[in-house]
Amino acid sequence: EAMRLAGHNWDVLELPSFTAVPAGGATADQASSAGFRSFGNGFLRKDEGIVSHVRSDTLDLLHKSSDTYEIIQNSVAYDVAELLFEQGFQYETGITLDGGKLCALTLKLDEPITLPGDDSEVLPFGCLSWSHDGSAALRVRSGAIRQVCANTVSAYEAEGERLGTAFTFRHTNNVHARI
């Protein structure tokens, strides 16, 4: 239910990537020598070593990458969040930005803490953010900023680095084993 409410209830599909040359963009000889095949009124060639990442619900393009890029599905971030539930966290906010290219979850720990130098109580947050456009890894961190937009996601990432509470899982081989 939380995935649906946050707009994360879709998967990333990996599809072959192609380059198209419209009619008039190249001669048949030029296209043939560059590995293109005739297709409709133009030419088409499969991009070797490149894949397209699209949303399963809309088929909107999220990213093109090398075929070694490892997809981290939205459901994986929710699996990580569920591990934090065992520590007392609960869902606070889920956001989907730029058509799903950037996603984030904010989890709240309903146990106020006091930070050094400030007598007021704050609620600590556990935050996860991840991208499907190659711009960011899956990041998990804690702090006191609630993620509600791209700016607060960036601020939270900086706070997690400053506090030493950031964990990063890059879209590389064996990422799922590391998670």
pLDDT per residue as tens, the chain (179 positions): 899 999 999 999 999 999 999 988 888 899 999 999 999 999 999 999 999 999 999 999 999 999 999 999 999 999 999 988 888 899 999 999 999 999 999 999 878 777 777 788 877 888 899 999 999 889 988 877 778 888 888 887 888 788 777 777 877 777 767 77
Task: Output the pTM of the full model.
Answer: 0.81
Q: What gap in Å lies between CA 17 and CA 25, rounded to an integer?
A: 19
Task: Report how far Cα 151 is from the mean position of its chain's Cα atoms.
Answer: 16
Q: What gap in Å lies between CA 120 and CA 108, rounded to an integer?
A: 17
Q: What gap in Å lies between CA 171 and CA 154, rounded to an integer?
A: 19
